[in-house]
Amino acid sequence: MPRPDRYNAAPARTPMRAMDRITLIRPDDWHLHLRDGEALATTVPHAAARFGRAIVMPNLRPPVTTVAAAEAYRRRILAARPPGAAFEPLMTLYLTDTTPPEEIACAAASGLVRAVKLYPAGATTHAEAGVTDPLRLDPVLEAMAAHDLPLLVHGEVVDPEVDVFDREAVFIDRVLGPLVERHPRLRVVLEHVTTRHGVAFVRAARPGVAATITVHHLLLNRNDLLVGGIRPHHYCLPVPKREADRLALLEAAVGGDPRFFLGTDSAPHPRSAKESACGCAGVYTAHAAVELLAEVFEAAGALHRLEAFAARHGAAFHGLAPHPDTITLVRDPWPVPQRYPFPDGGLVPLRAGGTVAWRLAA
């Protein structure tokens, strides 16, 4: 039996439905790329329409490695926020081999920096300045544990001898597992988990270990990237894995386990960079992240758990109350534009040219 098309068109309307309108606590996005400069005019309004808060990734050029740089970036984001929007960017620092423990103390005292991001050097977009040897980080990680500043991890090795589809599992076994054990007080998030192995690791880990799950990894498997031709706008890092891995992510997302929560990893790139020899890694979902998530949860018979995954679990892990605002989704299919305004050729979103079954109410 052919697999239903999860990314190109909304599910068909059925004669009987449990509900056509859902009101939720306003979700938070615990992993978001906004980029900088002209890009903010598109990315910030999309995020602000749906999310109350977002952990903003620091992999700019140059990366956000200091509290001063994070504060300046935050001001640029707020300047792009639509009038009346209450969207709050939660800032992060980019961890390097030379990050001093003193900067961690400054970050904790700032009240604006909420986490620190570990990119293995060369693992993904703008990760050139990332960490080359995690064992050298122990003094900084001890400072983070002392100040209760979480570590957000891009969980992939960059060893060329490791198959690209195995990089997450190998990273967990070689790096993340030992790191979690060496620092028992450190809160750790395995970001954009993509494998059965990663889900099992989080479930078996000590308290203080969690994972974010993206919308696109709930919708796509590696066939959606490769079958019928390479689809560059589905290419991301970590890459989508087997269907069995997608189903493991789905079970974790809809199952009510508070260790799993939404982090879209929405990552904008200009069309010219995606449709090129570079094939830049990143899927843009901020334009419809919550609406697409509603489709996923409805198909799984779990709309009643959407609010917990999108609005409660992540806030609790990060020590925050759920957002005081709400949003409403209505069942009203709408067409996704072929592209959004963006420098260098526009921005192609997930499901460009297709439809989304749920719409964000005004």
Q: Which residues are annotated as a binding site for substrate?
A: 33-35, 59, 154, 237, 269, 281
339 part of a folded domain: no
Q: Is 228 exposed, middle or buried (0-12, 13-18, 19+ CB in 10 A)?
A: exposed
pLDDT digits (tens, 9 = 90+) for 66-116: 999 999 999 999 999 999 999 999 999 999 999 999 999 999 999 999 999
From 265, 325, 332, 344, the catalytic residue? 265
pLDDT band at 124 (very low <50, low <70, confident <90, very high): confident
Q: Is residue 275 part of a domain?
A: yes
**How many domains does the structure of the chain reveal?**
1
Residue whose C-alpha is closest to residue 39's, from 359, 270, 293 = 270
Question: Tell me, what's the pLDDT at 13?
Answer: 39
Mean pLDDT across the stretch 239-261? Answer: 98
What's the domain range around 63? Answer: 29-289
Residue 16 has a pLDDT of: 35
Q: Is residue 211 part of a domain?
A: yes
Whether 265 is a known active-site residue: answer yes
Tell me whether residue 15 is in a domain.
no
Q: Does 220 score more than 80 pLDDT?
A: yes
pLDDT over 70 at 345, yes or no: yes
Q: Residues at the annotated binding site?
A: 31, 33-35, 59, 117, 154, 192, 237, 265, 269, 281
CATH number for position 262: 3.20.20.140
In a domain, 60, yes or no: yes
Tell me whether residue 81 is in a domain. yes
Report the mean per-residue pLDDT for the chain: 93
Whole-number Å distance between alpha carbons of 241 and 217: 8
Task: Judge whether 302 lies within some domain.
Answer: no
- Binding site listing for Zn(2+): 31, 33, 117, 154, 192, 265
Q: Give 117's Cβ-side CA count (13 Å radius).
A: 32
- Asked whether residue 55 is assigned to any structural domain, the reply reads yes
pLDDT at 22 over 60: yes
- One-letter amino acid of 299: A
pTM of the predicted model, to two decimals? 0.94
Tell me the DSSP string of 255-321. Answer: TT-TTEEE---B----HHHHSSSS-------TTTHHHHHHHHHHHTT-GGGHHIIIIIHHHHHTT-P
Give the count of alpha carbons within 13 A of 160, CB side only: 0
- Tokens, residue 300: 């799984």
Flag whether pLDDT at 9 surpasses 50. no
| Mean pLDDT, residues 266-285 taken together | 92
